[in-house]
Chains A and B, each alone.
Chain A
Amino acid sequence: MDISQFFTSADLFGIAPEIILTVTALSVLTLEMLHVSRPGIILMVAALGLFLAGALAINTSGDEQILFGGMLVLNRFSVFFDFLYITIGLLTLIFSQGYLEKRGSASRGEYPALILFAIIGMMLMTRANDLVIVFLGLELLSLSLYILVGFLRHDQLSNESGLKYLLLGAFATGFFLFGAALTYGAAGTTNYNGIVTAITNNTILSDTYLFLGIGLLLIGFAFKVALVPFHMWSPDVYQGAPTTVTGFLCTAPKAAGFGALIILFNRAFVDIHYQWQDIFWILSAMTMTIGNISALIQHNVKRMLAFSSVSHAGFLIMGILVLNETSISAVLFYLVVYSVVNLGAFAIVSAAEQEERGLNLKDYRGLAAQHPWLSAAMTIFMLSLAGFPPTAGFVAKFGLFSAAVSQGYIGLVIIAVLNTLISIYYYLRLVVNMYMQKEESTLILSYKMLAIVFVGLIAIMMIILGITPGYLLEIVTEAASTVA
C-alpha cells in the first residue's frame, strides 16, 4: 500500500491552521494548569494563535488543493470561511474579556480553548469534501458549544440551556447521521466526488435511500442553523447561555452550517438540487416569517436577537435556493455582515448585562444620554440588521434579493421584503428605547477599552461597507467563483 497516496507533506501544510489552533488551545490549557491564567496573557496567546492560523490559511490560498486523498478541498471559498471564523473567534475572545468574572465565574483557560476547538471544527466543515469530515467538524463544533453554553456552572439558566442544547443537538445528530448513512448506502461512498459520479452515472443503489439521505442531512443542518420548525431551541438556548457565547453561537455555527450546505448542495448533490427547491422555498418563507413575527413581541433583548437570527437564516436560505455564483457571493457577503454586526450587538448587550437587569428592552431607556457613542454603534448595528441603507446590511439584503429575483423567485422576494418591513419595527424599538425615552438610565455598563474600540471599528466598517462595498464584494465574488 502506498501511503503517499493519502498523506504527504503538502497535506500537513494544508491543515497547518488547524494544527496551529490545536497547539494554541493546548498551550492555553497548559498555561491555565500552571496557574498563569491572567486573562490578558491567555487572550494574547489565543490571539497570536489565531493570527498565525490566519496567516497560514492565506498562505495556502493558491489554486484548488485536494488533501488527504480527497478528504479536504482547499480553495478560495474555504479560505474565505477560515478568515470569517478566525475573525468571529477573535472578536468573541475580545468581547468576552471580563464577562465571566462579572457573572461570578472565574476566568478560565477552558473558555478560549473551547472557542479555538470550535473554530477548528468549523474550518473542517467548510473544507470538507467528505461526509465523514463534515460530520466530525460539526460534532467538534457542537461539543465545544454544548460546554460553552453551559459554561456558567453555577447558573441555573446556563445549565438548563446547556442541557437543552445538548439534547436537541444530539437528537439532530442522530438524524444527520442517519441521513449520512443512507447517502452512503445510496452512493457507496461518502466522498462528494464519488457521490456526484454515482448520481451522474446513475449507479445509485436506490433513489429512495438517496432521497431520504438528503432529507435527513438537511434536517440535521436545519437544526444547527435553526430553520423553522427546527428553530425552537434557539431562543431558550440563546437566552440562557453566557451572552458572549450567545454572540458566538448565533454567528459561527450559522456561517459554518451555511458554508457546508452550499458545498454539499453545490458539489455532491448538484445534479438533484432542483428537486429540493420547493423545500428550500418553503423553509425560507416560513423561517423568515415566523422568526420575525415572534421577534416582534419579545421583551428580552437576547430572545429578540435570537428570533431575529432565525429570520436571518430564512433570508440566507434564499441563497441556497437559487445557488448560482451571484447568490453564493451574496450569501457570503450577508454572512460577513450578519456575523460581525451580531457580535457587536451582543458585545454591547453583554456590557449592559447585570444581575437581574440589562436584558430587558426597558432597561435600555435613556441609554443614549449616558453613552452616546455606544448607543450610536448599537443604532448602526440595528439598522444594519434591518437592512437599512446606507449600512452594509442593505447591500447584503439587496444582493440576496436581486439574486433571487433574477432567477424568477419574485413571490419569495415579496415575502422577504414584507418581512424586512416587519423587522424594522422591532429593531427600531431598541433604538427608540435608547434615544426617545426620557427616563434616566440606571444601567452601569462594564466594558474593557479594547472591546469598545472593536465595537466602534465594526460600526464604522458597517457604514463604510454600505457606501463602498466594492472591496468585500470582490473577495466574495472570487470566493464564490471557485465553487460555482
Chain B
Amino acid sequence: MVVPLEHVIALSMILFSIGVLGVLFRRNAITIFMSIELMLNAVNLALVGFSRYYNSVDGQVFVFLVMTLAAAEVAVGLAIIIALYRNRQTVNIDEINLMKN
C-alpha cells in the first residue's frame, strides 16, 4: 500500500514553501542557491507522485530533465558567484547592490 497522492503533493508543497522562504531569508548567495535547489526537489517530488498515480513514465522523464537543469544551473551560478567574489570579496546579497535608482 502506498500513501495517497494528495499527501505526496502536500509534502512537496511544504518543501517548496520552505525553499521559497529560504530564498527570501538568507543573505548568502550560496545558501539562497541551496534553497532554490530545495524548491526544485519539491517539484521533482510532485512529478514523481503524479507519475506514480498515472502509472506513466512521463513525469519521471521530466524529473530527469529537471535534474539536468539543476546541475547546469548550479554550475553556472557558482561560477558567477566565484567571479563576483573575486571582484568583491563578498557573497552577501545585501552588499551586492551597486545598482539602484
Does chain A touch chain B in the assembled complex, meaning CB atoms less than 8 Å apart? yes
Q: Which residues of A contact B (CB under 8 A)?
A: 132, 135-136, 139, 143, 146-147, 150, 153-157, 159-164, 166-167, 170-171, 173-174, 177-178, 180-182, 184-185, 188-190, 205, 235-236, 239-240, 297-298, 303
Closest to B39 in A: A174
Q: Which chain A residue lies CB-closest to B55?
A: A188
Interface residue from B29, B40, B42, B47 paired with A167 (Cβ < 8 Å): B29
Q: Are B98 and A156 in contact (CB under 8 A)?
A: yes
Asked whether B50 lies within 8 Å of A181 as measured between CB atoms, the reply is yes
Q: Which residues of B contact A185 (CB under 8 A)?
A: 9, 46, 49-50, 53
The reply to whether A177 and B66 form a contact with Cβ atoms under 8 Å apart is yes
Is B58 a contact of A190 with CB atoms below 8 Å? yes
Tell whether, in the assembled complex, residue B77 and residue A303 are in contact, meaning their CB atoms are under 8 Å apart. Answer: no
A146, A166, A298 — most chain B CB neighbours (10 Å): A166
Q: Are A178 and B46 in contact (CB under 8 A)?
A: yes
Residues of A within 8 A of B87 (CB): 154-156, 159
A45 to chain B, nearest CB (A): 25
Classify the secondary structure of B's interface with A. Answer: helix
User: What's the minimum C-beta distance from A304 to chain B, rounded to whole angstroms?
Assistant: 11
Inside 8 A of A147's CB, which chain B residues have their CB? 76, 80
B contact residues around A190 at 8 Å (CB): 58, 62
- Bound form: Cα–Cα A156–B99 in Å: 10
Task: Let me know if A166 and B58 touch, CB within 8 A.
Answer: no
Contact B99 A160 (CB under 8 A): yes
Q: Tell me the count of chain B residues lying within 8 A, CB to CB, of chain A.
A: 44
Given A170-B33, A184-B47, A159-B62 contact (CB < 8 Å) = no
Chain B residues near A157 (CB, 8 Å)?
98-99
Instruction: List, in ascending order, chain B residues with CB within 8 A of A178's CB.
Output: 16, 39, 42-43, 46
Cα separation A180 to B99 with both chains bound (whole Å):
33
A166–B76 CB distance below 8 A = yes
> CB within 8 A of A239: which of B36, B77, B80, B99?
B99
In contact, A235 and B39 (Cβ under 8 angstroms): no
Given contacts A146-B80, A159-B84, A160-B84, 4 further A-B contacts (CB under 8 A): A139-B73, A146-B76, A154-B87, A240-B99
B47: A residues at CB distance < 8 A: 181, 184
What 0/1 pattern do residues 66 to 101 of B give for CB contact below 8 A with A? 100100110011001101100110000100111111
Residue among B29, B33, B43 with most chain A CB within 10 A: B43
Determine the distance from Cα of A176 to Cα of B97 in the docked complex, in whole angstroms.
26
From A153, A161, A174, contact of B36 by CB (8 A): A174
Nearest-CB residue, chain B, relative to A185:
B50
A250 to B53, CA, bound (A): 41
